[in-house]
Amino acid sequence: MTIYRPHGRGTHMAGAPADTLVERRSIDVVPDSERHGRAFSQFTLWLGANLQITAVVTGALAVVLGGGPLWSLIGLLLGNLLGGAVMALHSAQGPKLGLPQMIQSRAQFGVKGAVVPLVLVILMYVGFFASGSVLAGQAVGELTHLGDTTGIVVFALITAVMAAVGYKVIHALGRVAGAVCAVAFVYLGIRLLADIDLGAVLSTDSGFDLPMFLLAVSLAASWQLAFGPYVADYSRYLPRSTSGRATFWWTLAGSGIGSQWSMTFGVLVAATSGGAFMESQVSYVVGLGGAGLIASVLYFVIALGKLTINVLNTYGGFMSMVTSISGFRGQRELSPRARSVYIACIMVAGTAVALLGKDTFLTSFKDFLLFLLTFFTPWSAINLVDYYLISRERYDLPALFDPHGRYGAWRWDAITVYGIGVLAQLPFLVTHFYTGPLVAPLGGADISWIVGLVVPAVLYHLLARRNSAPVPGGGPQEESGASPTAVGAPNP
């Protein structure tokens, strides 16, 4: 096995302590000397990211759109488990490779070809930033008495600063938000259950309705799948020896419990509010808890929950932008100033959309975001098949930055399969502005995400296994203090 020595690019910066709070890494590999933490950190992060108002709204939609409470809860649970398992498989890649999630896509799509799925990923996270800022802006505006517009701007600035600080503060935020939001949701749940007859609510379910059940499954699965393009960003600093199984199960547990908890609350609120919840989600939830000081605390909790997920979206969007542009510029690392510029771009774009759409646009915009999820599932299928079945968890890391190396600039087989995966979903897709022709025969059920996982997974496995060559030496290693960015198996 050939050892590539570092030449100053992507290496440990002279005089920079490994334990600094402000993150220095971006698209470069995290060396073993900077790895830290335990797999349990994935539980606290993803629990905090999912105990928040948008997840509550997602659960409520299962009832608002026509589902019964009982079967909606079961469908959401199934969707969270299925989608969460796919998402957690991506998380398990982080400790092994020490790379951001979307850099790994270069092994499937090529160093430049990875831009194909990345363009829509960036658009998605700008959209999530915007929709999250609107809800959080309402809470911040109420808390500070400065109004929604000022609340949105303040929230966006705080989000950008925390994303710029990076990995350590993001995990710290997740731990705090997970604990605080869990206490708040327990309190809100007690207040809600004191006002309703739970048995009567669940017994109002008129029976099993397959389309509505599949809608609930799809809502939850899509929620989980949306984390896929950046979930490994938050596990890549774990020691290389971290068990993949432990990373998988802690990620699935945190994301699954957090989202199901929030969505269950949403189902019960939607089933008992008579439509008042969907008219003003933040105010309704706070009103359940009380007034005065309690209301102020709950507004803070809602803003804190949204801050966690918005920081994740900003950080993930920044990583996706860097991955796209660096593939054409040949970059292996990013300066702190450039990092701040990328994050500022995400913040400005997301804030502009939030301010433009805060009054009339959000309903249609959320539907547009759900449509964009169509472009996530084929990427996820291709990435997982390649990593676990074709490459068997071994990548030539230096080649991920070299368009003339092992993975090339463009891999048209993967790009073609990706395109087929997107198109295959359209006949089964249900949105307000487009409904596929095969939806009606299925009783109105949306199974597009299932098609988007299965079709490209099968096609890519058939194509890629014929052209796969093993990475010599078993993948990246670290020797004599060299950075893993510059270490790996030689190109064949």
Q: What is the pLDDT of residue 359?
A: 64
Q: Is the pLDDT of residue 472 over 60?
A: no
Q: What is the mean pLDDT of the chain?
A: 82
Strands, E, within 267-408: which ranges?
A: none
What's the pLDDT band for 468 if we cut at 50, 70, 90?
Answer: low
182 by Cβ neighbours in 10 Å (0-12 / 13-18 / 19+) ranks as: middle
129 membership: H or E segment, kind and range: helix 115-144
For 381, the token pair is 């299928």
Does the pLDDT at position 293 exceed 80?
A: yes
- How far is 6 from 25, CA to CA, in rounded Å? 16
434: tokens are 């487009």
DSSP secondary structure letter of residue 446: -
Residue with tokens 């542009």: 325
Alpha-carbon gap, residue 438 to 104, rounded angstroms: 34
Q: What is the average per-residue pLDDT within 79-99?
A: 93
What token pair was written down for 315? 């950080």
Q: What is the mean pLDDT of residues 400-417?
A: 90
pLDDT at 3: 33
Q: What is the mean pLDDT of residues 157-168?
A: 85
Residue 419's pLDDT band, with cuts at 50, 70 and 90, is very high
List pLDDT tens digits, range 110-119: 998 888 888 8
End-to-end CA distance of the chain: 11
Whether the pLDDT of residue 12 is over 60: the answer is no
In 178-276, where do the E strands start and end? none
Banded model confidence at residue 486, pLDDT cuts 50, 70, 90:
very low
Residue 313, Cβ neighbours under 10 Å: how many? 28
Q: Which two tokens stand for residue 342?
A: 């990328």
Residue 469: pLDDT band by 50, 70, 90 thresholds? Answer: low
In degrees, rounded to 5, the angle at the alpha carbon of residue 61 between the alpha carbons of residues 456 and 230 is: 45
Average pLDDT over residues 136-155: 82
pLDDT of res. 283: 84
Rounded to two decimals, the pTM is 0.84
Three-state DSSP class for residue 363: helix
Is the pLDDT at 484 greater than 60? The verdict is no
List the one residue out of 89, 90, 420, 371 whose CA is nearest residue 218: 371
- Rounded Cα distance between 265 and 279, Å, is 17
Query: What is residue 370's predicted lDDT score, i.e. its pLDDT?
Result: 65
Summarised one tens digit per residue, pLDDT across range 43-86 is 999 998 899 888 998 899 888 888 889 999 999 999 999 999 99
Is the pLDDT at 375 greater than 90, yes or no? no
For the segment 83-106, the average pLDDT, to the nearest whole number, is: 90
Q: Pick the residue with more confidence: 206 or 198?
A: 198
Residue 230 DSSP one-character state: G
Residue 134 has a pLDDT of 81
- Give the pLDDT score at 358: 66
The pLDDT tens digits for 230-262 are 898 899 899 999 999 999 999 999 999 999 999
Mean per-residue pLDDT for 38-43?
Answer: 93
Residue 9 confidence (pLDDT) above 60: no
- Higher local confidence (pLDDT), 337 or 263: 263
Q: Is the dihedral of CA 420, 423, 427, 428 positive or negative?
A: positive
Pairwise CA distance, residues 182 & 162, whole Å: 22
Residue of higher predicted confidence among 278 and 293: 293
Contact present, 6 and 482 (Cβ < 8 Å):
yes
With cut-offs at 50, 70 and 90, classify the pLDDT of residue 470: low
Beta partners for residue 143, in sequence order = none
Residue 295 to residue 305: CA distance in whole angstroms: 15
Q: What are phi and psi of 121, to 5 degrees?
A: -65, -45
147 phi and psi, to 5 degrees?
95, 165
Inter-residue contact 432 to 446 (CB < 8 Å)? no
Residue 203 pLDDT more than 50?
A: yes
Half-sphere exposure of residue 323: CA atoms within 13 angstroms, side-chain side: 33
Domains of the chain as residue ranges with CATH: 35-360 (1.10.4160.10)
Q: Is the pLDDT of residue 185 over 50?
A: yes
Residue 424 has pLDDT above 60, yes or no: yes
CA 471 to chain centre: 29
Reply yes or no on whether the pLDDT at 120 is more than 60: yes
Q: Give the three-class secondary structure for 353.
A: helix
Pick from 222-236, 352-366, 408-422: least confident: 352-366
